[in-house]
Amino acid sequence: MLNWNDIIRFANRGTPAPEIQIEKSEEEWKDLLTPEEFRIMRLKGTEPAGSGEYCHAHEPGLYACGCCGTDLFDSSIKFESGTGWPSFTQPVKENAVKYDKDTAYGMVRVEILCNTCDAHLGHVFPDGPAPSGLRYCVNSLSIKHKNGNDNE
């Protein structure tokens, strides 16, 4: 189980390598995504708090990257954080999420990205529930729910 010390180490020294790496040009991503998805996932935007489709969703299944379909989070570790964004305590695998130090807006945070395609997901914070103490704060537009029956 990852903890805050692991996250800081990954942000400073690099995340474990993904199984595959997907690279596309900006134009290729623009062709595949809606303008709002492109703004959030490729330009590191944020959706308004409380506006996302998955803020209060609790259906079983996995949440995959909205760009490349890589599995990122399991619904069993999703929780209500009260922040207005879907929140999770752990990724499905240690190398599913990439961690980058983010110093934008005069603060230091840890940005989370899909480790397969570098899509911006949101940020991770050390104020989540036990046992990990982590809160992966994710834009709904950065993920797609796959239920256990049909994987869509």
**What domains does the chain contain, in order, with CATH numbers?**
4-146 (2.170.150.20)
**Residues 111, 100: Cα–Cα separation, whole Å:** 5
| Distance spanning both ends of the chain, measured CA to CA | 27
What are the two backbone dihedrals, phi and then psi, of residue 103, each rounded to the nearest 5 degrees?
Answer: -110, 20
- Cα separations in angstroms, 15 against 10, 28, 48, 66, 105: 5, 25, 28, 20, 24
What stretch of H or E contains 114? strand 109-114
For residue 53, pLDDT over 60 is answered with yes
Smallest CA-to-CA distance from 88 within 135, 140, 143 is with 135
- Pick the catalytic residue: 65, 67, 114, 137? 137
Is 22 in contact with 68 (CB distance < 8 Å)? Answer: yes
Q: What is the pLDDT of residue 123?
A: 96
The DSSP line for 123-139 is EEES-S-TTT--EEEE-
Is 121 in contact with 106 (CB distance < 8 Å)? Answer: no
Query: Cβ atoms within 10 A of the Cβ of 73, count?
Result: 26
The pLDDT tens digits of the residues spanning 20-52 come to 999 999 999 999 999 999 999 999 999 999 999
Q: What is the pLDDT of residue 105?
A: 76
Q: What is the pLDDT of residue 149?
A: 56
Instruction: For residue 68, indicate whether it is catalytic.
Output: no
Q: What is the pLDDT of residue 9?
A: 95
Query: Cβ atoms within 10 A of the Cβ of 111, count?
Result: 18
pTM of the shown model? 0.93
